[in-house]
Amino acid sequence: MILGHERQIEYLNKVLRRGKLAHAYLFYGPEHVGKFTVAEHFAGLFNSSEVIILSPEHTLVSKKEKRKDIPIDDIRELKRRLSFAPEGSKWRVVIINEAEKLSDSAADAFLKILEEPGEQTLIILVASSCELLLPTIISRTQSIRFSVVAEETLLKFIKSREESKKKQELILAIAAGRPGIAVRLMEMKDYLTEEVEFLKNLNSILQKKEIPEAFRLVEKIVLEEELRDKTVEYVLRILRKNLLESAGTKDIAPLVLKLKKVAEVADIMETTNVNPRLGMDTLFLEACRN
């Protein structure tokens, strides 16, 4: 099921109808908004004999253990498969999810595939940010930006599956325009309660400026990339909320500066190889400043 993204889907349908298809697309935008779902939907519109999905979780030849990146072995196997001509008029569609996690060697090897993908072959890269990909990869794709889903669209979906008005409001607030998170909150037992408690604890740390407690939290989450990313997002969300609530008051200038500093640290963490512990500690130091 696809929620929102009507403009992106209409554009893809239009280029398909007109035969103006690019050989490669880059779907980028916030995580859990539905980029991969749209990619699968688009792949289903082709007379396709094969849809190849590659990601840290979906492997082609490398060992199927928990991986932090997409290794060059899988790209070599992808190149081997694409070296064969497609059957008749059928298409081959390659979807690389979390493309920003291509290893350096894999990204270099993938460039050669982008340069000569072969006939009747479509490649779709899915990533959270353009900045995390090689400029040479971006230049060889047609970029399509995805945003969070409109609140009214997401709320209508939540109401169709959740009767409790209180839970509807909580899910809508925590999901923040991301259908993937909304589904997880409704389907995974205790996940909603855990997220509410996590947010409550984080809000308390920031409001009371409890640096020692912040460092203890960092120690617990620093090794889990998903937890780190979630924490950074929640910190930014809380600071933006505080800023909006203080609009028009004399106290707004320090809040603006604080949000700017924290956003700068978050951007450095996302686009560089900064030590995660150092990055998270710095982020909380800035977020808890007076």
C-alpha 173: how far from chain center: 18
**pLDDT score of 114:** 92
Among the ranges given (80-84, 208-212, 249-253, 270-274), the one the predictor scored with the smallest mean pLDDT? 249-253
**pLDDT score of 65:** 64
* DSSP label of 112: H
C-alpha 17: how far from chain center: 29
Residue 107 has pLDDT above 90, yes or no: yes
Mean pLDDT of 215-226: 91
Most confident of 56-60, 85-89, 251-255: 56-60
**pLDDT score of 207:** 92
Mean pLDDT of 13-39: 93
Tell me how many degrees the CA angle 168-237-55 measures, rounded to the nearest 5: 80
pLDDT band for position 130 (50/70/90)? Answer: confident
State both tokens at 260.
Answer: 């700017």
Handedness of CA 79, 83, 85, 87 (dihedral sign): negative
Alpha helices in 116-224 (DSSP H): 135-138, 151-159, 165-175, 179-187, 191-208, 211-221
How far apart, in whole angstroms, are the C-alpha atoms of residue 71 and residue 106?
Answer: 6
Match 């991301």 to its residue by tokens: 178
Residue 253 has pLDDT above 90, yes or no: no
